[in-house]
Amino acid sequence: MTAAGASARRTAPGFRGQFRYGVVFLLVLLLLVFEIIAPDGDGTRAADVALAALALMVTVATSRAPGGERRLRALAVSAAGLVVVIGTATGLFPAGVAYAVLAVVAVSIPAALFGGLSRLIRSSGVTVQVVAGALAIYLLVGLLFASLIGFIAHVSSTPYFKEGNTSNGIHVYYSFTVLTTTGFGDYTPAAPVGHALAVLEMLTGQLYLVTVIGILIGNFAGRRMTRDGGG
């Protein structure tokens, strides 16, 4: 394929929606902040699911699948998300369903991002979009553990924390203090399962920062230095 043909193919309708991982990052960041500041309730959980579904829709729309397949997947995500949002907002679904759906989305988005990120790195190297996608995955790790904490707290007969029952905002706040190993110590898991999750999250967060984020940022900075230096 000639350079002109490749350029035309990249600008064809099937390619225009790809690699918008900055949008995914911003949506995930918005979801994170909203979960922390919004009060608990069916309406809040419905909004959480709506934001998470929207982030997944954008991710699916920027995947490496053919255009028709991407549209079908996006429609399926939107339909499923709408059902859960309505069921949660009306109280038809218990809080545990919302926490489970958020956990599934927090796994599904990185899984969908991985193929597109790998393709983008192979074709263009480490770009701003790649870094944004990798950071979105990091935030989703924290949200995944927060959703697991919320689910366990909801189905358990005893409080998850020694400090007593807490809100979903506290779950997210606690999750990111563990993920970043900040360790304020204001909340402590009361059961061994909570201790195990905390250790797993700490290890995951540090290994991800040191390996994935560290390597990507280093390569991105190196490419900019080489380009600015005319190398």
What is the torsional sign of CA 214, 215, 220, 224?
Answer: positive
49 touches 88 (CB < 8 A)? yes
Tens-binned pLDDT, residue by residue, of the chain (231 aa):
444 444 444 433 343 445 678 999 999 999 999 999 999 999 999 999 999 999 999 888 876 666 677 788 888 999 999 999 999 999 999 999 999 999 999 999 998 888 778 777 877 778 888 888 999 999 999 999 999 999 999 999 899 999 998 999 999 999 999 999 998 989 999 999 999 999 999 999 999 988 887 778 777 666 666 666 655
Secondary-structure percent of the chain, ordered helix, strand, coil, rounded to 5:
75, 0, 20
pLDDT of residue 13: 39
Residues 6+ apart with CB under 8 A from 77: 53, 56, 57, 60
52 touches 105 (CB < 8 A)? yes
pLDDT of residue 218: 75
Which element (helix H / strand E) includes 163?
none
Residue 189, phi then psi, degrees to nearest 5 = -60, 145
Classify residue 17 by its DSSP letter. Answer: T
pLDDT of residue 119: 79
